[in-house]
């Protein structure tokens, strides 16, 4: 079974709007990562947030982590058509940072 | 550009056949992980190789096997192919000195089993 569960499964917004995606996980983690995948191709690492961090920014991306609720959110501000992709949250196996468990992903469509 | 390359890009096989997929890790990365991504699903961890030894395995049968070479490139072999093996196969390499082991993914190999 998959550790991470993203919500919603699909999101459609207008260019310029903000997109918020959520991820919940089951076990304790020391970091959580978000990835983007375009058209079923390779995954691109977006951002990693450590368990002792609550919020992290990278360009138009803002990630939050709430370890008490075992949840994370990814906010993309001022979305662009090029942001259209699938987004996945991933958490490492217990004691094995380099082995990841992924959720099913969120399909984001940004309309021009 | 991550530097991780995979070959071939696409592959079509028939049930019962065997397949070998290849991955070249990013320069300086000695750890390679393989993932299977079925259509509409997230990637699932198959196994990992570190310094030419298997270093952890996910819930996949023994007909999924691998190798890592001295230059840290890797192969994924699947025997007795089944229809459900149709998927995108991703490899990822990571830098040994990174405590959080950020993974760098290749573009994937799309395997279709008929």
Tell me what pLDDT residue B1 has: 46
* Residues on chain B touching A102 (C-beta within 8 angstroms): 35, 42-44
Are B100 and A31 a contacting pair at CB < 8 A? Answer: yes
Distance CA A8, CA A5 (A): 9
What is the DSSP track for A86-110? EEEEEEEETTEEEEEEE---EEEEE
Please name the residue of chain B whose CA is at the shortest distance from the CA of residue A9.
Answer: B40
Name the residue of chain A whose CA is nearest to B100's CA: A97
CB spacing of A44 vs B105 below 8 angstroms: yes
Question: Tens of pLDDT along chain A (112 residues)?
Answer: 446 688 888 999 999 999 999 999 998 888 999 999 998 788 999 999 999 999 999 999 999 999 999 999 999 999 999 999 999 999 988 766 678 999 999 999 999 9
Confidence (pLDDT) at B95? 79
| DSSP-assigned letters across all residues of B5-40 | EEE-SEEEE-TT--EEEEEEPPTT--EEEEEEE-TT
User: What is the Cα–Cα distance from A50 to B106, expressed in whole angstroms?
Assistant: 24
The tens digit of pLDDT for each residue in B22-34 reads: 999 988 888 999 9
Query: How far, in Å, CA of A108 to CA of A85, rounded?
Result: 5
Q: Take residue B93 and report the two structure tokens written for it.
A: 């390499």
Judged against a pLDDT cut of 70, whether residue B2 lies above it is answered with no
How far apart, in whole angstroms, are the C-alpha atoms of residue B47 and residue A106?
25
Task: Flag the least confident range among A3-12, A28-37, B76-85, B97-106.
Answer: B97-106
Tell me which chain B residue has its CA closest to the CA of residue A50: B100
Residue among B113, B47, B108, B56 nearest B79 (CA): B113
- Tell me whether A84 touches chain B (CB under 8 Å): no
């Amino acid at each position: 079974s998959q550790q991470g569960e993203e919500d919603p499964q699909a999101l459609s917004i207008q260019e310029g709007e903000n997109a918020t995606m959520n991820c919940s996980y089951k076990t304790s983690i020391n970091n959580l990562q978000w990835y983007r995948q375009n058209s079923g191709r390779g995954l691109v690492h977006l951002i990693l947030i450590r368990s002792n961090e609550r919020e992290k920014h990278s360009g138009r991306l803002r990630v939050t982590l709430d370890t008490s609720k075992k949840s994370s959110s990814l906010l993309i501000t001022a979305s662009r058509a090029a942001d259209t992709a699938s987004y996945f949250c991933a958490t490492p196996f217990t004691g094995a940072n380099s082995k990841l468990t992924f959720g099913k992903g969120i399909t984001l469509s940004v309309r021009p | 550009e991550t530097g991780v390359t995979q070959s071939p890009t696409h592959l079509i096989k028939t049930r019962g056949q065997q397949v070998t997929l290849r991955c070249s890790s990013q320069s300086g990365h000695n750890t390679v992980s393989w993932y299977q991504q079925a259509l509409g699903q997230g990637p699932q961890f198959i196994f990992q190789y570190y310094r030419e030894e298997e270093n952890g395995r996910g819930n996949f049968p023994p007909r999924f096997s691998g190798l890592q070479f001295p230059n840290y490139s890797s192969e994924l072999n699947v025997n007795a192919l089944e229809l459900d093996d149709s998927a995108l196969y991703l490899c990822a390499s990571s830098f040994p000195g990174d405590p959080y082991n950020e993974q760098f993914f290749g573009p994937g190999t799309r395997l279709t089993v008929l």
